[in-house]
Structures are given as C-alpha cells and as structure tokens.
Copies of this chain bind each other. A is one copy, B any other.
Amino acid sequence: MKTLRIPEATVMRMSVYSKYLNKLDQDGIITVSSGEIADGVGVSSAQVRKDLAYFGEFGTRGVGYNVKDLLRYTLKILGLDREWNLILAGADNLGYALCTNTEFVSRGFKIVGVFDDDLSRIGRRISNMIVQPLEEMAQVVKEHNVKIGILTVPDNSSQQVADLMINSGIIAILNFSAIPLNPTESVDVRNVDMSALLEILTFNLGFKAAQNL
C-alpha cells in the first residue's frame, strides 16, 4: 500500500474541497477542473492537484474531474462514508452552540451524549438530549461506540475531563480550552484556540501600523 505521510494541511484542504464539491454537485455541475476548485476555495491549482495526488488519480487529462465521483472519493478519504458518534463535555454556551451546529450533522457527525459536572446544567435539555453527569460518560461511550470527544469545559478542569474521556475509551479529542492538553501517545488531540486566532489578527494590525510610520 502506497502510504506516504500526508501533510495535515492537505487533509484540512481535502475537507474544504469536499464541501465545495458538495456545493457544485447541488448546483448540478458535472465536471470541474483543478483551476476551478482552486479559485473556489482560494488555493493554487497545483496545490489542488498535488493534494489529490496523495490519494490517487481521480481526473481525466484534458477534461478535469467528475464532481460526483470526486466528492465521493473525498468523503471516503476523510472517513465520512459512515456516521460518527461524538460526545461533548461542557454544556456551557459554546457546548450548546456546537450541539446545535447543523454543519456537523450534514457531515455525518452525531452528538450522542452531553456531559457536565455543574448541577445547574445537568438535566437541562439541549436539542434532543439531556445533559448528564460526568459519571455517565463511560457507559455512553461504550454503548454508542464513541471514539471522538469535544471538550468545552473551563480551562482549569480541561485536563481532568480529558483524562476521564480517555479512560472512558475516547481516542480523539477536539479541545476548545485554552490550555493545551498533555499529549498521550495513543490519543489524537486537536486544540482550537480561538483567542490565539484573534491575536494573529491583532498582531498583523500592529505590524501594519508599524510599517505605515
């Protein structure tokens, strides 16, 4: 099997291509070129072809790519040719927002359990779920064969709840707390640091201002 190491940036772009292809397909477009995809998502056409080339040959020279076929391939590659059950810990406003996020649903993600340790939140309804105490997590993970957890608890308890997830059987975590988790060999963690993203903007604004002197 041709298993090179795939850049993470490539995987991220595959997700973007996939959504763009979905839009093209809904618009009834049959064929698309790497240049059109590139324009649609804001990268170079060489980048699109190189990214796709990691996974195989999907196009026809002189013609381009069949939208439906390439969409199917991208979904398959990303592991989205199935449904994924998720759990979420931290039923605050952000947790609530993620639970009601319709894009997750359209990509095949299904949140099957929401957990919190705050008594005022436990029992509250979020869409079609009831917030449960953390103690119930292990059982839900087992019952629904959950592999992925979303962590939106406050910074000071994030490591502790992450450990609980891992002990419950979770092997991939999307972490929204500002504290990077201690990495574990067998668990895949992605941090989403929203203030860091804002701070890239303020850094650039500061730089721009300095250069205008």
A154 and chain B: residue at smallest CB distance? B102
Given the complex of chains A and B, what is the CA–CA distance between A42 and B193 in angstroms?
14
Task: Give the residue of B12, B204, B210 whose beta carbon is less than 8 angstroms from that of A172.
Answer: B204
User: Is there contact, CB below 8 Å, between A180 and B16?
Assistant: yes
The segment from A132-140, A157-165, A195-203 that touches chain B is: A195-203
Q: Given that A15-B195, A109-B195, A195-B104 are contacting pairs, would A172 and B188 also be in contact in the complex, using a CB cutoff of 8 Å?
A: no
A105 and chain B: residue at smallest CB distance? B195
A29 at the interface (CB under 8 A from B): no
A149 and chain B: residue at smallest CB distance? B201
User: Is there contact, CB below 8 Å, between A42 and B201?
Assistant: no
Those of A55-89 within 8 Å (CB) of chain B: 77-80, 84, 86
Say how far A123's CB is from chain B's closest CB, in angstroms.
19
Given the complex of chains A and B, what is the CA–CA distance between A179 and B155 in angstroms?
30
What are 15 inter-chain pairs, A to B, with CB distance below 8 A? A1-B210, A8-B200, A11-B199, A12-B196, A79-B199, A80-B202, A92-B97, A93-B96, A93-B100, A98-B194, A103-B194, A104-B194, A148-B205, A174-B197, A174-B198
13 further interface pairs, Cβ-Cβ under 8 Å (given A14-B199, A94-B94, A94-B97) = A3-B211, A12-B193, A16-B196, A77-B206, A78-B202, A79-B199, A79-B205, A80-B202, A93-B96, A98-B194, A109-B195, A174-B201, A188-B204
